Amino acid sequence: MREGGLLGWATDALVRLDDETPGVLSRVLTASPPRRQAIFAALAARGEKAGVFGVEDESLIPITFAEVIRHGRAADILRHAFGGVPQGFPGLLAQIGERSLPRAKDYLVLHGLLISDDPRGADALRTSGRITCRKLEVLTALDPRWRHANTLDRIDTHSEAMAFNSAVAFIQSVNSKATNEVVANAIALMRPTSSLPKLLDRLLRRADRLPPHPLSDGDNELRPLASMRDLLEAGRKYRNCLAHRLADVAAGKVAIGEFRGECLVEFRPLTQGTGWLLRDVHIERNSPVPLALIGEVEAKCDALGIPRIEETGGGDGWKSYRRFTHELEWG
């Protein structure tokens, strides 16, 4: 059970109010969840000195905060604490349930969301079921464009939300068709069994802004795989994990070519954009590559001026051992 029991962080403040106006505690404990959450929100605002306090009524003697808690309706309590009550605020408070949120500031976050110009955030909370501290943390971390019940239900932490923001930014940098509207609609149309990684992968597979390929002057013997379609077809043809390396290609960390329709050639960028390096050769199912084929690929790259690492020591026996035992970075 959370510290402070049912009333949590609000316990001490309510005890003091009960001393001032007896019956406050019993009223809170027997209140309906919507009214109880209105009390918690008012206490949070009062404790943080946010909002308008001690709003006077039309009588000569102004009503006290304790008396509002003891006798007022949920709307009266919120109005006394915040001055104005944003549309939808009582309804969102009711979605919290019986217990208070773990921290007083969570109520201020919820209030701030409603008075800001962010209808997506409020709609996301309204349609995502019970409101928790985790959902509020995720919501505040999410880019406002991606705030939706489908993201709130699939992201668990603040750091995951930040990572998702960055991942979408990457997708938009390599896919010209992944506009804000397209991404937002894709999130909204997600099925219950779908996931955010799958959504991003679908958008990545349509990337059309790939980095320049080292084989820009390729020929029929060594041709560049310079589009997502080429890469996906090659992955199916050679039955390997190329489809899982599309992000590396899109980011310019890897480039792939095909040699005479017999093997895939992997290139890695040199530092400071000074060119590319022949890294490895792969055949179907990542099986051991015949040394004769490797030699032909190396000779072709030499002719194109593409450097490679010259292995020293161990001789051909070491290279054969390395490839035969699949000690490759591919996969």
- Render pLDDT for 126-166 as a digit per residue (tens, 0 to 9): 999 999 999 999 999 999 999 999 999 999 999 999 999 99
Quick check: is 209 in a domain? Answer: no
215 assigned to some structural domain: no
Cα-atom radius of gyration of the chain, to the nearest Å?
A: 31
Residue 46 identity: R
Answer yes or no: do 137 and 282 share one domain.
no
What three-state secondary structure class fits 256? strand
Please state the pTM of the whole predicted model: 0.84
Cα–Cα distance between 97 and 87 in angstroms, integer?
Answer: 19
Domain, as residue range, for 20? 5-204
**Whole-number pLDDT of residue 49:** 62
Q: Write down which residue in 170, 204, 238 finishes a domain.
A: 204
330 within a domain of the structure (yes/no) = no
3-state per-residue secondary structure call for 5-35: HHHHHHHHHHHHHHHHCCCHHHHHHHCCHHH
- Residues 56, 189: one domain? yes
**94 and 185 co-located in one domain:** yes
- pLDDT given at position 117: 76
Instruction: Note the pLDDT tens digit of each residue in 75-87.
Output: 999 999 988 899 9
- Looking at the domain assignment, is residue 331 inside a domain? no
User: Are residues 295 and 146 part of one domain?
Assistant: no
Residues 26 and 144 in one domain: yes
User: Which of 152, 177, 204 represents a domain boundary (last residue)?
Assistant: 204
In a domain, 213, yes or no: no
The number of distinct structural domains making up the chain is 2
| Domain end call among 204, 236, 268 | 204
- Verify that 158 and 268 share a domain, yes or no: no
pLDDT at 28 over 70: yes
Same domain, yes or no: 197 and 120? yes
With respect to residue 15, please indicate whether it lies within any of the assigned structural domains.
yes
178 and 144 in a single domain? The answer is: yes
Are 15 and 153 in a shared domain? yes
Residue 223's Cβ-count burial label (10 Å; 0-12, 13-18, 19+) is: middle
Clarify whether residues 234 and 196 are in a common domain. Answer: no
Same domain as 158, residue 52? yes
Does some domain include residue 157?
yes
pLDDT for 319 equals 60
- Nearest Cα to 229, choosing from 195, 191, 256? 256
Are 103 and 147 contained in the same domain? Answer: yes
Give SS3 for 111.
Answer: helix
